[in-house]
Chain A
């Protein structure tokens, strides 16, 4: 690991001021950043340790929203009583990710900024990676690409977003709160993660010098009928091949509203709008669920080794809808 300086600012304002400097990055849980630094994928000259800043509260707000500080640890968030009760989908997604040790370290803000686990990105031995080295090409297009994306890719990058938490946040219409020297701005999670296009080196809309301070969730009508389904190569401690955050609002035997987001298949948490439309207003039965699964394939573009993900996504959506709806 290349040498770097380490600072521990006492206030949020001081942290933001330091973060605006060159080659300076934020250190929270460190589980992704230090891993990338050991592999020389990231080589900052200075780390700003923000873990002592007062951003670790989970606050139910008077308007029914829930505000989650950016430094809340993944394990604490998963186990927060109000999260378990009101947003069980989020709790489930969190404990589906990483390991207990990593969840004790990893934070909400860090999870939002997790970088892809594309082998060609994380191993500097590969010369071609547009995300790591803009303009160098994409080795995944020609090399083994079983774990790669089937939605939202470009000819410049086919890497997936690795997060489970973000998939649940996408289904729960989360909003990201971002602070900088010029003030606070908020954006829906759907606008936060970028598609690669011609600039895959930028994963998110977060700008240099900005700090994620919180995530907030609107009141949810999905708590009684939600499910996070994760399909992976081993039973635990592994990234998703396909995951589904299924959130249903069920009225009698009809689906009043639905949110479906997929993980492991796209450069960002992937809202399956067509699958949602296939459920909303329909009777929740086997035929509807099968139709939602088929609709989830819409827009899929597989590569040499990952065509299996298209059918896996279809089946995972159907299964998640069945479980969330109480049919199985």
Chain B
């Protein structure tokens, strides 16, 4: 790990340590098997196998991570399996649940449908990067205050999604709940608006009442 290791909780230090180890393993052995290459005496002139791993630098939560990744590695798998940031969750892995929501250049996206290699040079922020030291992000605090979860598996995605959603609402973006998109009025985050704007995050426990309450409160404080 570089000299800029996050100075967070013990858990975060543990995760970062694990990340360094995972990264090392990934670099030396490759977590995904490469296609077998037939023995060839002219090795020097052979093209590399299709989809060979290559050097990829990702900036996550303000830190650069140098990884060896095959092009097919998703941003979600890079975060979890190569960097060791396990906060971002793999739910459906097909863009249907939102558990993998992260912020890329401050916009929320599904990390499961993004290739890590396509995000070189981007600012990636995960749930681990939201708190300021021991001070929780207001959205995190509101989720705890309002019991915005039961099992907690969708929670990192819900929280990242809510952080971006509040910024979108402040910027006056439209949603399917907007009465008239031609009018450029400030967005009023009614419960209907919160539900629509958070609809990209599924909670299988059905903790939506708490989630809406948490987002409503975070919106007031933002």
Residues of A at under 8 Å CB distance from B? Answer: 1-6, 8, 27, 30-31, 34-35, 37-39, 45, 47, 49, 51, 75, 78-79, 81, 84-85, 88, 91-92, 95-96, 98-102, 104-105, 223, 230, 235-237
Contact = CB atoms under 8 A, between A and B. Distances in A.
Given A4-B51, A84-B174, A100-B165, A35 B113 contact: yes
A84 B168 contact: no
B182 A88 contact: yes
Contacts of B109: 101, 104-105
Given A3-B34, A100-B199, 5 more contacts: A78-B181, A95-B174, A100-B200, A101-B98, A101-B161
Contacts of A104: 107-109
Given A3-B50, A27-B118, A102-B95, A47 B176 contact: no
9 contacts: A3-B51, A37-B72, A49-B115, A78-B174, A84-B181, A101-B108, A102-B113, A235-B195, A237-B200
B66 interface: no
Contacts of A236: 176, 195-196, 199
A84 B182 contact: yes
B173 interface: yes
Contacts of B202: 237
Contacts, number: 122
A169 to B, nearest CB: 16
Interface of B: 34-35, 49-51, 70-72, 74, 93-95, 98, 101, 107-110, 113-115, 117-118, 161, 164-165, 168, 172-176, 178, 180-182, 184, 195-197, 199-202
A102 B176 contact: no
Contacts of A6: 71, 115, 117-118
B11 to A, nearest CB: 26
Contacts of A8: 118
B20 to A, nearest CB: 26
B113 A34 contact: yes
